[in-house]
Structure formats: structure tokens, C-alpha cells
Chains A and B, each alone.
Chain A
Amino acid sequence: MVETPAETLPISSGEDVVRVRQAVRLRCVEAGFSLVDQTKMVTAASELARNTLDHGGGGSVLVETIHLGNRRGVRLTFQDSGPGIPDIARALQDGFTTGSGLGLGLGGAKRLTNDFSIESTPGQGTRIMIARWKLT
């Protein structure tokens, strides 16, 4: 099967968030994810894409299919050059928000995925990587 090459999508409007969701869903279907896994990954992507837009002032996401031995997965890397997150541990706490949302997005995205990493420099931007593997 031919695999879609890695692609970078811009996130600069609400419509872009919808496009990111669609791209991630297609990618998950291609990687053979079950419906539940697809939904989890798409939801995590939706949370982080909206964070990139609302808190990071826009940015981009790199969508790619990854391999580890026989396992296949989908990895997303969100990048923005916004104000950054001063206290990452606090940002990951449920219910903490600097905006008007529920404050569950970041922690939720972590719980919905297998791999999660976050780097942020205040004043320079934030980079969040998530990955989910197909259950074998």
C-alpha cells in the first residue's frame, strides 16, 4: 500500500482546525486504526490545533505516519511561535485554563495518545508532539 508522505498543514483559522481533523482522520484510517483509536487521535488533534490557534496565535502541524518494527502509528507535531507556556505542569492540570475553555484540552490530549512531549520557551513558542500506535 502506498503511504501518504508527511505533510505540514497551516493552522491560522477555525476552518484550518477542521482541515487538520480531516487530514488526521484520513491518516489514521490509512494506518489501520480502529474507530475508537481514530476518534481518540482526531479529538486530541482537534484540542491541540485549537490551542495552537487560540493560545499560540496560529502555527502549523506536521502530520506523518511512523514505523517501529512492525508497528505503525501516526505522529503529529504542533508548532507555534506564540507566548509559550510558563508552567507546563500547571497547564497540564485538568481545569486550568488561561482562556475561557474547560481547561481539559492539553491533559486530555495527553491521555488520548501513547506518546506526548511538550517543549515551550516563554516568549518564543511551543512545540507539542503526540503519537498513537495501532494496537496489534
Chain B
Amino acid sequence: MPASSHSEISAIIDANEQQILKEWLEALRQGASLETGRIKEPELNTQAKGFFSHLRGALREGGLDVRSRGYETLRSFLAEVSRTRALKGYSPSETAMFVFSLKRPLFDAAAKSADASAAAQRGWEINQLIDELGLQTIESYQKVREEVILRQQSEISELSTPVVKLWDGVLALPLIGTLDSARTQVVMENLLQSIVDYGAEIAVIDITGVPTVDTLVAQHLLKTVAAARLMGADCIISGIRPQIAQTMVHLGVDLDVTTKSTLADAFAVALQRMGRTVVDVDSIAGRTAR
């Protein structure tokens, strides 16, 4: 009997095609797929009809084994549907409901077209088939979300470590967020490269945006400072808030560099070391005026 199960299911689908499709679309509409406006009715219709015709092809060629080659086109079709839904911000269950809502119409059709025991058997097979397809949907959905996360991670690590030029020979590196190892590596490389590019003599590392400074963060900072020193640039660490200062004292961390509480103070020190100063324009104007 198992050899012909799929052909019987095929037959059930063929015989009740219009009815199943109609009920499924009804279920999809009720499943709030339309209300949020993220998907238009024609698109939903196309997706449902596309899925349905691929399913019939797959049943003919691949029987009930979802992982077989006969299901390849159906699987890639499903992957595409999950992809677009994941990108549109659907939840995993909303995405899976696309497939799962087909269960009821198929059950009903199976129940009508056979006696009780055969119908139960068909029902079980349909159940397994739809579950497998639903899991496929979730898997593709998950994959897309992971891709999004990975892309965002790399975007964040690049975006959040800009090196800015404050003055000729003075760079600033405003650090924001968690300083884990991977990001610190990017930070250090950016800073060292910028020191070369700008011929900088002084680099101000501002940690105002770093919420927690523990020994690992301190160690990363010290290593960055040491590397910059080897390249002939002096570092100033700024943005040390009162609570951070107290915590670092208790930790016993000794930052062997010039530190300042604000970026402005650090900039003033940098200018002083460069032999420059900021003056009030009016006072110069007053002196030079006749």
C-alpha cells in the first residue's frame, strides 16, 4: 500500500483541486496575512497557486519523501516564499502558517474521498508531508534571519569605529558600545592605519560611550596605546566618568597614559603639546586694532 499512497493523495488533490485551493486561500486570508498590508491579495494568490502546482509535480515525481529530488523545485519555491516573508518582517509562525493552513483543506478532501480507515491513513501521510514542508519553511526563514544578523554585525563593527581628525596631527577615536575582542581588533587596526595616513602625533581615545570598563577592556586599551606608541604616536584616553574611575581604582588597573575626563580636555592637552592654543578672536582684534 505505501507504494501507491502518494498516487492516492495525488488523486485526492486532482479530484478536489478547486475546492482545496479555495478553502486554503480562505484560511490564508483569515490568517491575517492580508490585514497588515505586507502582502497583497494577488501576490498571495500567486504564491498559493504556485505552491499548489509545485506540490502536485513533487508528489508525482518524488512520492512522499520531501528530501528527494522530485521536491527540489517545491523546496526552492518555499525557500523563496519564506525569504520574502522574513524580509518583510513576518514572524516565524506567520511564515509557517502559509504551509500549515493547507492541512485542513487537504484533510477534508481526504475524508470525503475514502472510507474511514483509508482516510485516517491518508490523513496521517498528509500530516507528515505538510509538517516536513512547514519545517523547511522555518529553516529557510531562520537562514535568512541569520544572514541579516551577520550582515548587521559586520556593519556595526565597521560603522562604530571611525577615526576622526581633530587637527593636523591630532586624531580622535570615539569608542561606543561593547569592546569585545573582535571589535577591539578592528579598532586597533583602524587607529594604527589612520596614524600612518594622517601622520598623527597624538591620538585621543574617547571611552565615553563604553558602558563597562573591566580588566579585559583595560587590557585592550593598553595594548592599543602600546602599539600606537611603537609607531611614534602618543595616546590620551578621555571620557573617564566618575563611576568608571572609582571602579578602575578598585580593580587595580593602572592606565599608564594621560587620561582626561572629557574629549575637550584631551584636545586642549593635545594642542598644548603641539605648541598651539585656542584664543578669543575679539582679544586679538582688540590688540591689533589701531
Nearest residue, chain B, Cβ from A21: B212
Q: Evaluate contact between B243 and A104: CB separation under 8 angstroms.
A: no
Interfacial chain B residues near A102, Cβ < 8 Å: 215, 218-219, 253
Interfacial chain A residues near B244, Cβ < 8 Å: 39
Interfacial chain B residues near A39, Cβ < 8 Å: 212, 243-244, 246-247
Q: Evaluate contact between A43 and B180: CB separation under 8 angstroms.
A: no
Interfacial chain A residues near B214, Cβ < 8 Å: 43, 46-47, 50, 105
Judge whether B73 is part of the interface by a CB distance below 8 angstroms: no
The stretch that binds B, out of A69-77, A107-115, A118-126, is: A107-115
Q: Evaluate contact between A101 and B247: CB separation under 8 angstroms.
A: no
What mask results when residues 60 to 101 of chain A are scored 1 for a CB within 8 Å of chain B, else 0? 000000000000000000000000000000000010000001
Judge whether A42 is part of the interface by a CB distance below 8 angstroms: yes
Interfacial chain B residues near A38, Cβ < 8 Å: 243
Interfacial chain B residues near A46, Cβ < 8 Å: 212, 214, 216
| Contact A40/B247 with A102-B253, A107-B252 known, Cβ cut-off 8 Å | yes
Q: Evaluate contact between A18 and B246: CB separation under 8 angstroms.
A: no
Q: Evaluate contact between A111 and B251: CB separation under 8 angstroms.
A: yes
**Interfacial residues of chain A within 12-33, with CB under 8 A of chain B in the complex:** 14, 18, 21, 25
| Contact A108/B215 with A35-B243, A38-B243, A39-B244 known, Cβ cut-off 8 Å | yes
Judge whether B213 is part of the interface by a CB distance below 8 angstroms: yes
What mask results when residues 239 to 258 of chain B are scored 1 for a CB within 8 Å of chain A, else 0? 00011101100111100000
Partner of A36, one of B181, B242, B251, B252: B242
Inter-chain CA distance A107–B219, complex, in Å, is 16
| Contact A40/B252 with A21-B212, A47-B214, A47-B215 known, Cβ cut-off 8 Å | no
Judge whether B178 is part of the interface by a CB distance below 8 angstroms: yes
- CB of A55, distance to nearest CB on chain B (Å): 13
Partner of B243, one of A18, A36, A50, A108: A36
Binding site of B, secondary structure by majority: helix, strand, loop or mixed?
A: helix
Q: Evaluate contact between A104 and B252: CB separation under 8 angstroms.
A: yes
Interfacial chain B residues near A21, Cβ < 8 Å: 211-212
| Contact A112/B243 with A46-B214, A47-B214 known, Cβ cut-off 8 Å | no
Inter-chain CA distance A50–B218, complex, in Å, is 14
What mask results when residues 16 to 50 of chain B are scored 1 for a CB within 8 Å of chain A, else 0? 00000000000000000000000000000000000
Most B C-beta atoms less than 10 A away, residue of A21, A43, A94 = A43
| Contact A42/B216 with A111-B250, A112-B251 known, Cβ cut-off 8 Å | no
Inter-chain CA distance A102–B254, complex, in Å, is 10
| Contact A112/B215 with A14-B180, A102-B253, A104-B253 known, Cβ cut-off 8 Å | no
Nearest residue, chain A, Cβ from B217: A46
Inter-chain CA distance A111–B219, complex, in Å, is 19
Inter-chain CA distance A47–B211, complex, in Å, is 14
- CB of B244, distance to nearest CB on chain A (Å): 7
Interfacial chain A residues near B243, Cβ < 8 Å: 35-36, 38-40
Interfacial chain B residues near A35, Cβ < 8 Å: 242-243
Inter-chain CA distance A14–B242, complex, in Å, is 27
- CB of B174, distance to nearest CB on chain A (Å): 20
Inter-chain CA distance A4–B211, complex, in Å, is 23
Inter-chain CA distance A22–B111, complex, in Å, is 54
| Contact A108/B246 with A18-B178, A50-B216 known, Cβ cut-off 8 Å | no
Interfacial chain B residues near A94, Cβ < 8 Å: 252
- CB of B262, distance to nearest CB on chain A (Å): 17
What mask results when residues 200 to 233 of chain B are scored 1 for a CB within 8 Å of chain A, else 0? 0000000000011111101100000000000000
What is B's interface to A at a CB cutoff of 8 Å? 178, 180-181, 211-216, 218-219, 242-244, 246-247, 250-253
Known pairs A39-B243, A104-B215, A105-B251; list 5 more (Cβ under 8 Å): A35-B243, A40-B247, A46-B216, A101-B219, A108-B215
4 cross-chain pairs, A with B, having the tightest CB-CB distances, nearest first: A108-B251, A39-B243, A46-B214, A36-B243
